[in-house]
Chains A and B, each alone.
Chain A
Amino acid sequence: MTNLKLMRKIGIFMMIVFAVVCSLGCWTNVFAPTSTEIADAATSDYYANLNESLTGAAFRSELAKLITNTHKYNPTYDGLRSIFDESDADPNQKGNILWFYTGTSVSFNGSFNDGTNREHVWPKNNGKAFPAESEAGSDAHHLRPCNSQMNSTRSNNNFGEVSTTSSNIVKEDGKTSYANPAYQQNSVFYPGKGYRGATARILMYVQTRWGDKYSLTFVLGQGNNKTIGDIEDLMKWHLEEPPTAEEKARNEAVYAVQGNRNPFIDHPEYAEMIYCNDGKSYNDELQNCVEKYGSYLNGGQGPSTTDPTSLSITPSSVTVAAGATTRLTVSALPSGTSNSVTWTSSNNNVATINNGIVTGISAGTATITATSTKNSSIKATATINVKAVSAVNITGTPIKTKYSAGETFNPAGLTVTATYTDGSTKVIANGDCKWLDSTTKLTTLSAGTTSVIMKYGNFEKTVSGITVEQSTTQKISITRDSFTGSGSYAWTSWSSGGITGKAFMYPGNSDEIQMNGNKASCYLFSNSALPGGIVSITIKTTAERQWEVRTSTTPFAEGTDKTTTAGTSRGTVTSTPSGATINVNTTDTYFVLNYQGTNAVYIEEIIIVYNAGGGTSHTHTPSGWIVDSQSTCSVKGIRHTECTSCGEVLDVEELPLASHKFGDWTTSGDTETRTCSQCGHVETKGTQGGGSADQNKVNDFADLVDKVESATDAKAKWTAISNALKLYQQLNADEKASVATDYATLQAEIAEYNNTAEAINSESKKATEDAIMLFAGAFSILAFAAYFLLRK
């Protein structure tokens, strides 16, 4: 059939459909609520039957039922054009709509081929997450009109905060100069201001409305298909940008069509009720987020962006032994304002302070002051009592008593109590003590050691009853040098220490093992045995990235899927620049690392520790985590894993402290206090003065700037500038004032480096443009694409 005949047939068909639909009346209102129902929607009636005393998954389930059961009509994908006309109309310009993510006002005549198209805020990913053009894929609370180019660039990327530099601006309709830019970096998309909270609330709606049917969940970091992140950034945006009038009006407009509402616009507090308490791994992070940026519960309005009006220090009073240290934490009010401070001590002969760490010097009392760097009149103090210790006593039994050479002692299970010369006592946090091999006096244990020395201040105590065996493990290190190969992304072999494997990586990067979650495959595996079984895997990457670790008794192999489900999952780990370790402790001899992200990852090193085989007569089978004691707001809990066969403790770790449950602030004179109802901990806030700089940091910064000036090539210059800037960002206001001259020098060097970088980029671009034009005739496809790919 020719195109013309086909078009005629389609046209006739559409005319018939149109006639039928028109005879039924305005189809967008067939299932719409009555005007009475609309008027009641924003009141408590719509939500009247919800049990708001529930939280977490239970409350979400109730809410999901409500917005599902009232969802009487779901538009067709094509029908969204008429909905957007009203729901996304520019109130200031008739005939225009507002593009999502940026708010740019554009003319809209219902066409999705004229610069505007339908953006699935939760990526449909070609139908892998949910149907692309129906159900969740055409829900008007979900889809928004968006510039086609913006839509394409954002693609399936996750949401998060990125650097708001000009180079990261996402083009909208070919421009980077529009009023409210969106940004993208490393496949993370950052909407324009005013649309971040709205993005979060749309995703929360999608997860609540469609999450059960399509297994949609939030994650920290990056998600893929049915998962999306970063939920911590999304919650922050939801708190920082309350629902706008535009959102509320849109909620009404879509409600009039579909019959259901986005509850997170009507009740923003529902977000924290659900997602801080639904038993997921992100709960703690989201709770911290709410505490930092402000809760919507109890009528809260969310965060303030103003400077702090007061500070408080925790603990407000502490006893520390001479020679010992303890940490102070400063909080700012209102929540969400800056807690950046400079620390000072009233008497450095009694106690010193450095970045919140107090060191006891000699017996006496000193006042530590935290002064806001935003407003030097805002201060808080804490009293430090330095006491001489007359005795230190250790009670309890360490949970872990068997070690391999090279490990460090874990004091969990022991309680250290200091007795002071005034007769008072105090339980010392294990982290405030040092635990050393009694033979070598090092923190790492050596084979044959049977005891450790606890040092607190000038006191030492010996703890016996441990065994440290010769390490029976070996390790291999996998780096970029372990790989051979060239070209584009492909399965590439690696070899290290006689062990071999493959990864789907980019050999063109000669510095790191480069993989990418947007490629056909993104995993690294071994295909020769690590004899004796795998003990642990450490991954070092240039930035934090998430991995799933799996092991098997048979070799892994390359495949065509993104990740492999072969073998047994050993859990997930978030790799870091300093290295993150997952203890596997399995008899399995093969491993695979499934990259969980959707963007590029640069692996510096992978360290695999495995049993050498024959060193021990027993290979441990690790249990899951066993909680020995739950945390309170003042005492950290403990959990451990053990071998299910022999019972030996394999790993022990402390649990984070629970949050204090403070009551209201009470005022007495110039002092305000509040008390934790769980542990009785008291916080105070007040004023006093001071300020000082750490001369070591000042000197270090000057040295780094010297290195910048003396660097002779671009790479050395870049490295030196990066190191200097990272240190500068850690300086307090006084320190920054001390290094002002050096910083001016650094700024000049940065300007010169940037000019050089731009010049090199320009030369590279020109050379490439020149090169691709060579075969413009015969190889026009490559020339077309390549030439204009570089046009920015």
Chain B
Amino acid sequence: MKKIIIGIIVVTILALALVGCGERNDVSYSDLNNMVDMEYRLVNLEVHTTMSGVTLVNRFWSSSASNGTMVTYIVEELATFDQMPGSDDYSVPEKMIVQKEGSATIKNGVIVEQDGHAVNIPVDSLQSLSVEFVKSYFTNTKSYFDNYNVFEADVTNPRAFTGNQNFDGTNMHVTVHYNDKLAKMIIDYTTSKGATVKVIYTFG
């Protein structure tokens, strides 16, 4: 369940391979793999989830700190009307959408400083990234230049790309901005419950 979308990178690489010659932004799969493997000093993430006319946005920013890497986050949730103990009355939230803010400084996979909402982070390390490319996963590919080299594609088989047979997203579309390294990657899809999701990675 939790192992997710490693193969999204496949979208970028494979689609670029499908673009063909004659476009100024042609790049080989190996060049793209190299871009993915680069060390990026800053990675910002935004996840926009829209459902029933409401959009929640979760934002994460990373930056260098003197004692590690600081991740600052603002996570949004819908407030609920909670019944007061011993009463048939309800508390009225101040706002419809509440934000949980905080930051964590991480060094060697351990939180060394934390502020705001508590974080529970395990010390386990994660596996290295490994991908396979399958061109039949993509359709409607486009390549063009718009301040950056841009690649777009519809993903016809998200489960196969993600390598996660439990992934329930459909109508997936990916857009990658790059030059000599990745600048931005946007992934849109629809969940099985009808929510639309837009994920934006910004690399620095």
Q: Mark A762-792, 1 if CB is under 8 A from B, else 0.
A: 0110111111111111111111111011110
Name the residue on A nearest B56 (C-beta).
A764
A174 to B131, CA, bound (A): 36
Does B156 sit at the interface, judged by CB under 8 A? no
Chain A 682-700, CB within 8 Å of chain B: the 1/0 string? 0000000000000000000
Q: How does the 8 Å CB contact mask read for B11-53 relative to A, with 1 for contact and 0 for none?
A: 0000000000000000000000000111110010101010111
The answer on a CB contact under 8 Å between B45 and A771 is yes
Q: What is the bound-complex CA distance between A374 and B61, given in angstroms?
A: 52
Interfacial residues of chain A within 202-240, with CB under 8 A of chain B in the complex: none
Are the CB atoms of A788 and B122 closer together than 8 Å? yes
In chain A, residues 542-560, which have Cβ atoms closer than 8 Å to a Cβ of chain B? Answer: 542-543
A775 to B111 Cα, complex, angstroms: 19
Chain B positions within 8 Å of A488 at CB level: 59, 61, 72, 74
Q: Is the CB of B127 within 8 A of A777?
A: yes
The interface bits of chain B over 67-94 (1 if a CB of A lies within 8 angstroms of the residue's CB, else 0) are: 0010111111111111011001111111
Q: How far is the CB of A467 from chain B (nearest CB, A)?
A: 44
Q: Is A741 an interface residue (CB 8 A)?
A: no
Asked whether A419 is an interface residue with its Cβ less than 8 Å from the other chain, the reply is no
B45 touches A772 (CB 8 A): yes
Give residues of chain A (473-532) contacting chain B, Cβ–Cβ below 8 Å: 488, 506, 508, 516, 518
Is A304 at the interface (CB under 8 A from chain B)? no
B71 in contact with A760 (CB, 8 Å) = no
* A777 vs B201: C-alpha distance when bound (angstroms): 15
Query: Is B149 positioned at the interface, with any CB of A under 8 Å from its CB?
Result: no
- Asked if B115 is at the interface of the complex by the 8 Å CB criterion, the answer is yes
Would you call A38 an interface residue if the criterion is a C-beta within 8 Å of the partner chain's C-beta atoms? no
**CA A778 to CA B43, docked complex, whole Å:** 11
Q: Are B109 and A780 in contact (CB under 8 A)?
A: yes
Most buried by B among A518, A721, A750, A770: A770
Cβ-Cβ contact count across A and B, 8 Å cutoff: 207
Whether the pair A753, B45 counts as a contact (CB closer than 8 A) is no
Residues in A neighbouring B160, C-beta threshold 8 A: none
A773 in complex: contacting residue of B2, B62, B114, B119, CB < 8 Å = B2
Kindly state the separation between the CA atoms of A348 and B58 in the bound complex, as whole angstroms. Answer: 58
Instruction: Report the bound CA distance from A454 to B92 in whole Å.
Output: 41
Kindly state the interface size class of chain B when it binds its partner.
35 or more
Residues from chain B with a CB closer than 8 A to the CB of A166 are 82
User: Are the CB atoms of A768 and B8 closer together than 8 Å?
Assistant: no
Chain A residues within 8 Å of B2, by CB: 769, 773
Q: Are A778 and B36 neighbours in the complex by a CB distance under 8 Å?
A: yes
With known contacts A488-B61, A771-B45, A756–B94 Cβ distance under 8 A: no
Nearest-neighbor residue (CB-CB) of A766 within chain B = B191
Of A22-30, A620-628, A725-733, which binds chain B?
A: A725-733
Q: Which residue of A lies closest to B164 (CB)?
A: A770
Stretch at the interface among A149-157, A246-254, A441-449, A566-574: A149-157
Contacting residues, chain A, for B40 (C-beta < 8 A): 778-779
Q: Which residues of chain A come closer than 8 Å to B106, judged between CB atoms?
A: 781, 784-785
Partner of A777, one of B114, B128, B169: B128
Q: Which residue of A lies closest to B7 (CB)?
A: A774
CB < 8 Å: which of A602, A757, A784 contacts B78? A757
Q: Which among B4, B104, B118 is the interface contact of A769 at CB below 8 angstroms?
A: B4
B119 touches A789 (CB 8 A): yes
Q: Is the CB of A163 within 8 A of B119?
A: no
Q: Nearest chain B CB to A314's CB is how many angstroms away? A: 28
Min C-beta distance of A101 to chain B, whole Å: 14
Q: CB within 8 A of A714: which of B73, B78, B89, B118?
A: B78
Complex-state Cα separation, A713 to B53, whole angstroms: 6
- Which residues of A sit under 8 angstroms from B95, Cβ to Cβ? 542, 602
Closest Cβ–Cβ distance, residue B12 to chain A (whole Å): 11
Say if the beta carbon of A112 comes within 8 Å of chain B: no
Please give, as numbers and ranges, the residues of chain B lying within 8 Å of A783 by CB-CB distance. 126
**Are the CB atoms of A786 and B73 closer together than 8 Å?**
yes
B81 & A754 in contact (Cβ 8 Å cutoff)? yes
Please name the 5 residue pairs, one residue from A and one from B, whose CB atoms are nearest each other, closest first.
A777-B129, A713-B53, A165-B82, A785-B71, A757-B78
Kindly list 18 other residue pairs between chains A and B, CB separation below 8 angstroms, not including A725-B92, A764-B195. A152-B118, A164-B85, A171-B118, A506-B74, A516-B101, A713-B54, A718-B78, A750-B81, A760-B52, A764-B77, A770-B167, A770-B199, A773-B4, A773-B5, A780-B125, A781-B71, A784-B126, A789-B104
- 12 CB-based A-B contacts, threshold 8 Å: A488-B61, A743-B88, A770-B167, A774-B8, A775-B129, A775-B201, A777-B126, A777-B128, A781-B106, A788-B119, A789-B102, A789-B117
